[in-house]
């Protein structure tokens, strides 16, 4: 079969292989226990502040955040703090990650992860990985996240840095079509 000249120029084969990943970023699948009355997901089992299955991560703070439909909150960057994010299965959020750690094996790698969307998963974001989120849903989106540092608004101890929302390119926030 021969394609038209315009179709030949635009034609490509979709990639089905694994996308690039960032060193230290982990997606942890959680069990969701459902019955005819609802569902329950265990987010973290703690022993002396340590969350089982998350290595040496010690929970220091638990936070809750909301995003309006189609809102983008980006980019956050921590030099010392690890975040562990959970988006309820009923919500749908696009998380964009960018490794900005100088000398990292995955330096400058971009990674996109959809959280929620019917799944119960944790996303572990290590220090030095810029991260942001876009609410893909039509209702307010919710994030519950754990951190291993206490938040401090004081400039001398604050670990809440920012990069521009389009630091990784404006296109990174678009829905992949194809």
pTM to 2 decimal places: 0.90
- The DSSP H or E segment spanning 131 is strand 129-135
In the predicted model, is pLDDT for residue 136 greater than 80? yes
Q: In this predicted model, what pLDDT tens digit does every residue of 153-166 receive, in sequence order?
A: 998 999 999 999 99
When the pLDDT of each residue in the chain is averaged and rounded to a whole number, the result is 94
The pLDDT tens digits of the residues spanning 20-31 come to: 899 999 999 999
Burial annotation 29-60 (CB, 10 A radius, 16+ → b, else e): ebeeeeeeeeeebeebeeeeebbeebeebbbe
What are the chain's domains? Answer: 24-32+44-170 (2.60.120.10)
Whether 95 and 112 have beta carbons less than 8 Å apart is answered as yes
């Amino acid at each position: 079969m021969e394609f038209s000249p315009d179709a030949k120029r635009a034609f490509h084969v979709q990639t089905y292989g694994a996308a690039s990943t960032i060193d230290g970023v982990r997606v942890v699948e959680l069990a969701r226990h459902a019955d005819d009355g609802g569902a329950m997901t265990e987010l973290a089992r703690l022993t002396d502040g340590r969350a089982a299955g998350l290595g040496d991560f010690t929970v220091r703070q638990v936070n809750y955040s909301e995003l309006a439909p189609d809102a983008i909150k980006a980019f956050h960057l921590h030099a010392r703090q690890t975040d562990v994010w959970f988006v309820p299965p009923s919500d749908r959020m696009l998380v964009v990650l960018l490794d900005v750690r100088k000398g990292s094996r995955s330096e400058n790698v971009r990674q996109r992860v959809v959280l929620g969307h019917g799944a119960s998963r944790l996303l572990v974001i290590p220090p030095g990985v810029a991260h942001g989120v876009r609410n893909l849903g039509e209702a307010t989106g919710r994030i519950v996240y754990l951190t291993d540092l206490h938040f401090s608004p004081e400039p001398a101890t604050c670990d809440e840095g920012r990069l521009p929302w389009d630091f990784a390119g404006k296109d990174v926030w678009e829905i992949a079509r194809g």
